[in-house]
Structure 1
């Protein structure tokens, strides 16, 4: 870990266990706040980065571990995989959410039972795991059958292409014909052989549609992973001989918010004050527009009379392209004399301006001078906008970045106001992409698929705000502000210490959370 000099800061030092820890976004935030953190992460690339960054890590599937293995952990954090929920409201995503909510309700019912017997609670959990396992096994069988049908469908398609060529169709006519195969019943086919192929193709497509529907009903194996943090909290709260976590912090994409709200109901039953908040990252000093759904919980004996935690206060303005607040923010970044022209005085707005890509990268260059220095640029996204894959999103250098995803290395940098790529450094380096997520510029990105690691990570600066609020509720407004300012400075200047060895399941000896 870093050896930055810190003022006495944290009212208490917590031992944190981070599930689905990724490359260490929450971990580095906890480190600069003075807490001790251990992560569980399965991805080899992310573990390589964690090792190089000195982040204490157990490698493996979270489902291989249990809360009982880490009796000295005081705080639980994490961000379970979200892919199955990112299309909430549309087919499979909506069904996956509904399924998880139903499982949470079953666990909640067991927790609230009059006798609250641990064996009954555990029995409920085992039944849920068995159901998920059966679904997973059946889904594998259906997936294998689906692949076989897809292979057959591809063969029929090739056979039709060949037959059309034999009938004298031009390449353009063949292409047009094959495009209409999504609705083959509308086609008029005079050739008997082609007609037979088309009927067989249509039959295979109908069978494939049924298999796709069945897979959506069965769900994804990752659906069960989102239940893991809740079960760890229940186990620590209800298992004889265990002590409950003092706090819980979970974060994910906005689509997971309904799950967090159900979590909150269970945690309230277990004696926690809770809060759920949809957080706009640029409103907390992250040079990027991104939204995260956050669940916060703090063990509190006054929960009956005071069940809700307050929201984390935004410190910066939100970014809205073309809005007056955005024009004001840009003015602050360029010339403070323009404030009065825009009708705003510094004393009238308690919030800071959002942070632009330009400002974040400039600060990073002051720490790591070998970063590229570019002229005014525009980022052209790898993704389309407005439902049009060809209409690539664009964001200028003097604005926050669009959401950093696992495809960030594919984003193009062009001269501002043009489509002409920069002659040099027309892509963000991993260090720069990390900075736009608010990782320290010296963060030692390692292993495979670094872009995906960066895109999946929680922005450390956002984590600073959430951890400070949940773990240090006794600080007043001025103390909290000073605490965050010191932590932000430490985060920017953070440097990795000595690499650590990744632990595997069963390697408990000598670890501070295991007590062995």
Structure 2
């Protein structure tokens, strides 16, 4: 990797293993801080980007690897796919959370029961823990197989339902209904509310068939919610890797663990933390607002941090920027936000007290981030007049009420649909000309705080960018967890240097993704 001419001072250098590594958001931050990172990622597009960026990567399913394959890794990081939990307010989300919590507690019970075993008993204790994991793994495998069978049958019924709907449309056309009338009829048919079907239009038979098919699909949906999906097993993987390294005879525990995901996963991280405390880690979970860490975007991430042998709980990552408040300008923030009280600072600890002397910076706007990126040679970021971004998503439950953010505010959350957001002249609905009406990958990446020359490659670039960890957020978390000896001014200087290095980062050379056959001789494998 090639980054800056003047390398950053490195208090320590760690070998990091990044599970579900994505296109490299955490990895590029770790490299800037001077650490060595190997990622495991299955997505072809993300692996293509990682290859172009020179990121060391094993391509494949995390479940086909084990902690024992990488004995020299000192730090475990990752963000297991947890989309199921984003609907935590609904039945499926609650069931998924309850299910994964139950599995974590079973693993925790096995760890607690074998906590004080030594000598030969330690091996027998490990076998008991491993048997617990194998039983969970087998239960999940059986559920996945049944779920796949249910999904196949569900797809078949959905195909039948589509045929019945087409039949109903054809009948309505033959009755002389206009396209608009048919569209309104079919919309009411979806809800079955306000639907007045006269018996003389001969729809009773297809409507009854449609009702029967809908009832079958509801049963399939309920069964799939009970079974969960493969992401339940994936979210357990990082915990199992930590347990294996901590309890398997002959293994050394990871020195630190950092995991991140969407806010709905915070209850899962809290359960993780209980197990990690039993394994000897000091832990902290934190809901982080990205704009409070210099990311030009309002986004929330749930983070779990753990450090071996440290007191529990760990201190939270201190914010460096002010939170975004809708309708408040950057220059007004300091005047409108309440000052921290002495009691609050005391609760946050000595480092926060020391940092309180340094005022927080205003949040970073889209325009500021993009203009800074334009100064980097070969960035691909284009100049724009004042603009407004119109989101692809609706707001307030109204799909037609598109969210809007002006150029002098942080972006709304960058998602996998970022390429569909419209960029218009400020205060209008008029698209910018010359191809500026959409963000290109370099620009969307900058709003995620990727270097402007990050080599996005492969399929579905928007999805890669939207799913990635913002590197600037990762800088703060990694610096905080891996360099606890730095505080106050030293930590600030370290971060300032890292941010500059991140902005001017560029890939040195491409590398090919690795597979199982490449474990032998790999720096983390010990083979």
TM range (shorter): over 0.9
User: Do structure 1's residue 498 and structure 2's residue 509 form an aligned pair?
Assistant: yes
Pair 1:176–1:287, CA change in 2 (3 A) = closer
Rounded Cα–Cα distance in structure 2 between residues aligned with 1:325 and 1:441:
24
1:255: which partner in 2? 264
User: Do structure 1's residue 375 and structure 2's residue 385 form an aligned pair?
Assistant: yes
Deviation digits for residues 173-209 of structure 1, max 9, x if unmatched? 4333322324559644413842122111111111111
- Contact 1:355–1:399 (CA under 8 A) maintained in structure 2: yes
2:325: which partner in 1? 320
Rounded Cα–Cα distance in structure 1 between residues aligned with 2:384 and 2:256:
44
Deviation digits for residues 102-139 of structure 1, max 9, x if unmatched? 10010000000145710110001011111111111111
Once the 2 structures are TM-superposed, how far is the Cα of residue 515 of structure 1 from its aligned partner?
1.3
Count of aligned residue pairs for this structure pair: 497
Once the 2 structures are TM-superposed, how far is the Cα of residue 330 of structure 1 from its aligned partner?
12
Once the 2 structures are TM-superposed, how far is the Cα of residue 328 of structure 1 from its aligned partner?
3.7
Pair 1:94–1:2, CA change in 2 (3 A) = same
Pair 1:171–1:379, CA change in 2 (3 A) = closer
Please list every run of 5 or more consecutive structure 1 residues that lacks an aligned counterpart in the other structure: 332-346
3-state SS in 1 of match to 2:430: coil
1:21: which partner in 2? 21
1:246: which partner in 2? 255
User: Do structure 1's residue 175 and structure 2's residue 183 form an aligned pair?
Assistant: yes
Pair 1:420–1:172, CA change in 2 (3 A) = closer
Please list every run of 5 or more consecutive structure 2 residues that lacks an aligned counterpart in the other structure: 337-355
Rounded Cα–Cα distance in structure 2 between residues aligned with 1:428 and 1:192:
50
Rounded Cα–Cα distance in structure 1 between residues aligned with 2:192 and 2:411:
44
State the Cα RMSD in Å. Answer: 1.9
Relative to the length of structure 1, the TM-score reads 0.93
3-state SS in 1 of match to 2:203: helix
1:487: which partner in 2? 498
Deviation digits for residues 265-300 of structure 1, max 9, x if unmatched? 000000000000000001001111100000000001
Deviates more, 1:370-379 or 1:128-137: 370-379
2:430: which partner in 1? 420
User: Do structure 1's residue 396 and structure 2's residue 401 form an aligned pair?
Assistant: no
Rounded Cα–Cα distance in structure 1 between residues aligned with 2:138 and 2:414:
37
Rounded Cα–Cα distance in structure 1 between residues aligned with 2:89 and 2:456:
35
User: Do structure 1's residue 214 and structure 2's residue 214 form an aligned pair?
Assistant: no
Deviates more, 1:153-162 or 1:265-274: 153-162
3-state SS in 2 of match to 1:216: helix
3-state SS in 2 of match to 1:34: coil
Deviates more, 1:162-171 or 1:146-155: 162-171
Once the 2 structures are TM-superposed, how far is the Cα of residue 7 of structure 1 from its aligned partner?
4.9
User: Do structure 1's residue 287 and structure 2's residue 296 form an aligned pair?
Assistant: yes
Deviation digits for residues 234-254 of structure 1, max 9, x if unmatched? 000000110000000000000
Rounded Cα–Cα distance in structure 1 between residues aligned with 2:432 and 2:187:
38
- Contact 2:330–2:363 (CA under 8 A) maintained in structure 1: no
1:339: which partner in 2? none
2:346: which partner in 1? none
Once the 2 structures are TM-superposed, how far is the Cα of residue 428 of structure 1 from its aligned partner?
1.0
2:349: which partner in 1? none
- Contact 1:440–1:492 (CA under 8 A) maintained in structure 2: yes
Deviates more, 1:390-399 or 1:194-203: 194-203
Rounded Cα–Cα distance in structure 1 between residues aligned with 2:7 and 2:490:
13
- Contact 1:32–1:487 (CA under 8 A) maintained in structure 2: yes
User: Do structure 1's residue 237 and structure 2's residue 237 form an aligned pair?
Assistant: no
Relative to the length of structure 2, the TM-score reads 0.91
Once the 2 structures are TM-superposed, how far is the Cα of residue 429 of structure 1 from its aligned partner?
1.4
